């Protein structure tokens, strides 16, 4: 599930109660990923649910003003 919301890290307690394994936030024009470690959420550099996803590429595409250009860039990178 993807949720567009405000509140960022302040909402982690809510996600913890719901036992959400991984949470992504868009904060200050950056994608920030948190993973539940059993003790609490830890910021991680790679998604554990989508380990092959290049988060830097994904973030770069999110920042593009054109959806068409973003799709082309993302697909081009996937094809290598």
Residue 13 pLDDT > 90 = no
Write out the DSSP string of 7-73. -GGGGHHHHHHTT-SEEEEEETTEEEEEEE-SSSEEEESS-SSSTT--HHHHHHHHT-S-HHHHHHH
- pLDDT confidence of 18, banded at 50, 70, 90? confident
Residue 17 pLDDT > 80 = yes
- pLDDT confidence of 12, banded at 50, 70, 90? confident
Greater confidence, 54 or 39?
Answer: 54
């Amino acid at each position: 599930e993807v949720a567009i919301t405000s509140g960022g890290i302040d909402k982690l307690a809510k996600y913890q109660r719901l036992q959400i394994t991984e949470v992504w936030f868009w904060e200050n024009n950056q994608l920030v990923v948190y993973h539940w470690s059993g003790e609490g959420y830890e910021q991680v550099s790679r998604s554990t649910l989508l380990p092959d996803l290049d988060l830097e590429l994904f973030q770069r595409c999110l920042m593009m003003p054109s959806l068409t250009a973003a799709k082309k860039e993302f697909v081009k990178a996937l094809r290598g």
